[in-house]
Amino acid sequence: MIARRVISVLWFLLAAVTCIVLFEGLLHLYNPNRSRLRNGKILLPANQTYVFTNTDIPKIEKRIVHSKNSLGFRGPEIPARFGEYLSIIVAGGSTTECFYLSDDKTWPYLVGERLKGAYDKVWVNNAGLDGFSTFGIIPLLHDHITRIRPAYTLFLLGANEIGRKGDNAADKDKMAPSSESVSILKKVKNESELFEFARITWNNLAKRGGRKIGHHPLDLQALSHVNIDQRAIDAQLDVHRKAYIPGYRQRLMSIIRMCRENGIRPVFITQPTLAGKGVDASTGVNLETMVLEDGSSGLMEWKVLELYNDTLREISRENAVPLIDLAAAFPRDSRYYYDKLHFDIEGSRVAAAMIGDRLKEIIAGDDGRLPGEFRRGDGDGNVRHAGSFPAQ
């Protein structure tokens, strides 16, 4: 009896090993849950829904539903007659992705809703990815956005560019592992699809259980204050100007070139932040002297970010790329942010209104003045001009 049981258990384990080997092979052919890149290609989290239970941040919803379509973006699927639509993809980092806002509360979604008042058919997808910088956006553009060829692509850039010479952890997370790994264990860890599956499942379970919201609310009243000397600020700006800005300029030029080669109209958006000059309108807290988590002051952080925003402004001007200067226009008021960078529900609504209205002007300005640039098929072999979307 015991021997039979032991044999049965052995068969059971052998069957398990057989299936593990089989599925490891099948997963190498197709792994629907993979969220990083292999062989230099970005793999987006397609057809995913994340549900978060938020108890930490009062200015956003308690239950957040964040879903990705089959492209791995937030928003509707590609419509059948794509060419008939005013198609827009929005790329950027977490300020764009609005990771902790539900689908219908994100500013790209609300921009789409706003444009629907002016155009018959509007398709907006949010390709923002938490932590993504231009290092990740360039392959995203190359591998995904240029294949879709939307009429416009909006890039909200800035915060994730600061002090970046190479791809950051968030970019890497969605990129191919490097071949530097030498130990067998590391190789198995990097190459095994089953291991990757276990990691993602764990992350999904953690997210679904509402165990952690990755962002933390900023309690302005609890912050200490400091006055940083102007010379220290200038020295810091000098470091960024010499070490990081030239590379950033080059990457922006690559984005412009790639868009234009593929008939996509790029639109740049500068990055707003709560940190900076003056006091917070809602709490009266001094936003210049507040000490942020990295020890810098609000003023210093804003000046550094403005350096990158200025670069974006210059590149836009030099290359005739439309710019939405959200950093300059967006009110520096904590009622619109849940931390120093990310919009709360109200902030998302205000940003959508500003971006949407400016975008309408940009699109109206393009109407009929860009011969051939936006011509594309409507899926039935007919070609029409994107500038002549039927207005309501």
The residue range among 6-14, 169-177, 249-257, 384-392 that interacts with another protein, by the rule CB under 8 A, is 6-14
Residues in region 251-310 near another protein by CB under 8 A = none
Q: Would you say 246 or 377 has its CB closer to another protein?
A: 377
- What is the CB neighbour count within 10 angstroms for residue 4? 8
State the virtual CA torsion across 226, 231, 235, 241 in degrees, nearest 10. Answer: 100
Q: Would you say 214 or 379 has its CB closer to another protein?
A: 379
Residue 213: enclosing H or E segment and its boundaries? none
The residue range among 72-80, 217-225, 301-309, 333-341 that interacts with another protein, by the rule CB under 8 A, is 72-80
Select from 382, 370, 256, 371 the least CA-distant residue to 314. Answer: 256
Note every long-range contact of 378-387, with CB atoms under 8 Å and residues 24 or more positions apart, other chains counting: 378/81, 378/82, 378/83, 378/84, 379/80, 379/81, 379/82, 379/83, 379/84, 380/81, 382/83, 383/83, 384/83, 384/84, 386/86, 386/151, 387/363
Q: Would you say 33 or 254 has its CB closer to another protein?
A: 33
Residue 311 and residue 244 in contact, taking contact as beta carbons nearer than 8 Å: no
Exactly one of 369, 381, 390, 392 binds another protein (CB under 8 A); which one?
381
Cα→Cα distances 162→3, 266, 308, Å: 66, 21, 7
Count of residues making up the chain? 392
Exactly one of 38, 76, 119, 162 binds another protein (CB under 8 A); which one?
76
Residue given tokens 């294949």 in the structure block: 147
Task: Write the interaction track for another protein spanning residues 189-208; mark x where CB under 8 A is met and - where it is not.
Answer: -----x--x---x--xx--x
For 348-363, give one letter per residue: b (16+ CB within 10 A) or e: bbbbbebbbebbbeeb
Cα→Cα distances 243→140, 163, 261, 265, 376, Å: 25, 8, 29, 29, 41
**Closest distance to another protein from the beta carbon of 132 (Å):** 22
Compute the distance between CA of residue 170 and CA of residue 160 in angstroms, rounded to an integer. Answer: 10
Residues in region 17-56 near another protein by CB under 8 A = 18-20, 22-23, 26-27, 29-33, 46-49, 51
Cα→Cα distances 372→153, 200, 262, 376, Å: 17, 44, 12, 9
Interface size with another protein, residues (CB under 8 A): 45
221 contacts another protein (rule: CB under 8 A) = no
Residue 238 and residue 307 in contact, taking contact as beta carbons nearer than 8 Å: no
Q: Would you say 163 or 377 has its CB closer to another protein?
A: 377
Q: Would you say 32 or 371 has its CB closer to another protein?
A: 32
Q: Would you say 18 or 227 has its CB closer to another protein?
A: 18
**Closest distance to another protein from the beta carbon of 48 (Å):** 7
Task: Write the interaction track for another protein spanning residues 142-181; mark x where CB under 8 A is met and - where it is not.
Answer: ----------------------------------------
Compute the distance between CA of residue 65 and CA of residue 208 in angstroms, rounded to an integer. Answer: 10
Exactly one of 188, 250, 379, 391 binds another protein (CB under 8 A); which one?
379
Backbone angles phi and psi of 254, in degrees to 5 = -60, -40
**Closest distance to another protein from the beta carbon of 24 (Å):** 10
328 contacts another protein (rule: CB under 8 A) = no
Judging by DSSP bridges, how do beta strands 122-126 and 86-92 pair with one another?
parallel
The residue type at 38: R
The residue type at 130: D
Exactly one of 6, 58, 62, 81 binds another protein (CB under 8 A); which one?
81
Q: Would you say 51 or 329 has its CB closer to another protein?
A: 51
* 3-class SS shares of the chain: helix, strand, coil, % to 5: 45, 15, 40
Exactly one of 372, 380, 390, 392 binds another protein (CB under 8 A); which one?
380
232 contacts another protein (rule: CB under 8 A) = no
212 contacts another protein (rule: CB under 8 A) = no
Task: Write the interaction track for another protein spanning residues 99-118; mark x where CB under 8 A is met and - where it is not.
Answer: --------------------
3 contacts another protein (rule: CB under 8 A) = no
229 contacts another protein (rule: CB under 8 A) = no
> Under the rule (CB under 8 A), what is the footprint of another protein?
7-8, 11-12, 14-16, 18-20, 22-23, 26-27, 29-33, 46-49, 51, 65, 67, 70, 76-82, 194, 197, 201, 204-205, 208-209, 377, 379-381
